[in-house]
Amino acid sequence: MHRLLLEEEGKPRPALLTDASKQEPKEMVKPPRSFWRRKWTKLDKRVAHVILLLHLLCIFAPFHFTWPAFRVAVTLQIITGLFGMTISYHRNLAHKSFQIPKWLEYLFAYCGVHALQGDPIDWVSTHRCHHQFVDTERDPHSPIQGFWMSHIMWLFDSYTLTDKVSPKYSSNLQKIEKNMFVYFSKYRKPENVGDLERQTFYRFIHKTYLLHPIALAAILYTVGGVPFLIWGMCVRIVVIFHSTFMVNSVCHMWGQQHWRTGDLSRNNWWVGLTSFGEGWHNNHHAFKYSARLGLEWWQLDAGWYVIRFLQVIGLATDVKLPSPAHMQALALNKPEDHLLK
């Protein structure tokens, strides 16, 4: 596998065309029909069944609405979506855009476990691969194969995902198949997450992944019955699912490009609102190392506000931001006095 793009994050990425303002999006193609005819593995079926069940149970949400259940859902969405996925999985673990004490790092990562989008090792591996091969055939989730493939269908093809993320390394397939607690896993060992694999905590979460959301579901049911279970688990997880998946799909198809990134990434304000600031995706692809995604004052970025607060109280250190020189180098007709205010 090629060396991680993360090692080159401090360097501006060359534009595909000399005049970036005339960039044309890559040609979009439909997903191949063979996707439906392929052999579905046990992992693929497991993921599909879980996601389908969560969506079906959401149908009963209006019939089990209570204000306490709604408040639990919103609270858990902030804990698992904002602190878990946005701050921990994405900005801290995948891009190392800031440092926090290990106890807090593990706490935030454990919050992300309950978003049901995979354990830190698998999620970070896939995301790093996305940046390394963005909008090419090696990208795990790019709309060059169609909107739905980039949005959710890529989750149901573990062999193809493996070939894209870890083509050189193999592991025990039967061992993975028999472990019912593995979720968004792959059939081979990736080589781009050695920093996480060396830590006992992340290896433990990887091996026992589904046990943790199941335990949370049991607690919610014990405390608040069916309303807490449906709203605190099903509705909350489905909302986080699609707000995250829209970053992969919508933010590579619709929105504004302000930076020479050489890919399809876009800034989309309404995705930014639903995903705690992740919708400023063209900003992110231009400056992947940056802890701040909403670079303009009006670009709401809840993830950055939390990181900035942690920095002020001394818990977050080595907080990375794009330099004015780097921003000017990638800017598309953007005056200097508007940069990072």
Domain ranges within the chain, ordered by starting residue: 39-338
> According to the model, what pLDDT value does residue 29 have?
40
Across 14-36, average pLDDT: 44
Q: What are phi and psi of 259, to 5 degrees?
A: -135, 150
Tens-digit pLDDT profile for residues 127-162 = 999 999 999 988 999 899 899 989 999 998 877 777
| Average pLDDT of the residues in 243-265 | 95
Q: What is the pTM of this model?
A: 0.84
Nearest in space to 259 (alpha carbons), one of 322, 341, 337, 334: 334
pLDDT tens digit sequence for 93-135: 999 999 999 999 999 999 999 999 999 999 999 999 999 999 9
Output the pLDDT for position 159. 77
Please report, in angstroms and rounded to a whole number, the separation of the first and last CA atoms in the chain: 38
Per residue in 267-290, pLDDT tens? 999 999 999 999 999 999 999 999
Taking residue 242's Cβ as centre, other Cβ atoms within 10 Å add up to: 16
The answer on pLDDT for 24 being more than 50 is: no
Among residues 153, 101, 115, which one has the least CA distance to residue 278?
115
Residue 56: how many other CB atoms lie within 10 Å: 10
Looking at residue 42, its pLDDT comes to 81
> pLDDT at position 32, please?
45
Q: How does residue 186 score in pLDDT terms, banded at 50, 70 and 90? A: low
**pLDDT tier for residue 9 given thresholds of 50, 70 and 90:** very low
